[in-house]
């Protein structure tokens, strides 16, 4: 998402929102939060339907924002492990709080 309006006091909001703002970022973080570390192809399998390009981009963004860590091991075949950083782990309960809110208020809209 590209922002061009002035965000003097919303700037941290923009930052936060960019972290959770991609289509796959939230599911991705959910899976990462359930695993100490996880490998690229395992992640890809768990995120059913994601393409390699999109997964790679999402991971790069999360890494650039400091919430995900990438560790490559010089093994054969190559092993690459992804995990949440401390900053990323801090974000998880906040996301969960918003999800809990969703759980409480979704029924008001469309009963299920």
Partner DNA sequence: CCTGTAGGTATGTTTTTTGATACTAAGTAC
Partner DNA sequence: GTACTTAGTATCAAAAAACATACCTACAGG
Q: Are 55 and 22 in contact (CB under 8 A)?
A: no
Contacting residue, 20, 31, 80, 92, with DNA by CB under 7 A: 80
Interaction partner, residue 70 (its own copies, DNA, none; CB < 5-8 Å by kind): DNA
Task: For residue 61, report the phi and psi dihedrals to the nearest 5 degrees.
Answer: -65, -45
Is residue 72 close enough to count as binding its own copies by CB under 8 A?
no
Q: Shortest gap between Cβ of 7 and its own copies (angstroms)?
A: 8
Contacting residue, 29, 50, 62, 67, with DNA by CB under 7 A: 50
Q: Are 63 and 93 in contact (CB under 8 A)?
A: no
């Amino acid at each position: 998402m590209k922002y061009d309006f002035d965000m003097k006091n919303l700037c941290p909001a923009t930052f936060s929102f960019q972290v959770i703002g991609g289509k796959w970022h939230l599911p991705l973080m959910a899976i990462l939060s359930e695993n100490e570390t996880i490998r690229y192809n395992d992640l890809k399998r768990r995120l059913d339907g994601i393409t390699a390009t999109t997964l790679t981009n999402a991971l790069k963004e999360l890494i650039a924002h400091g919430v995900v860590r990438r560790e490559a091991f010089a093994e054969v075949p190559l092993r690459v492990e992804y995990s949440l950083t401390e900053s990323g782990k801090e974000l998880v309960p906040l996301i969960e709080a918003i999800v809990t809110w969703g759980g409480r208020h979704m029924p008001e809209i469309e009963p299920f």
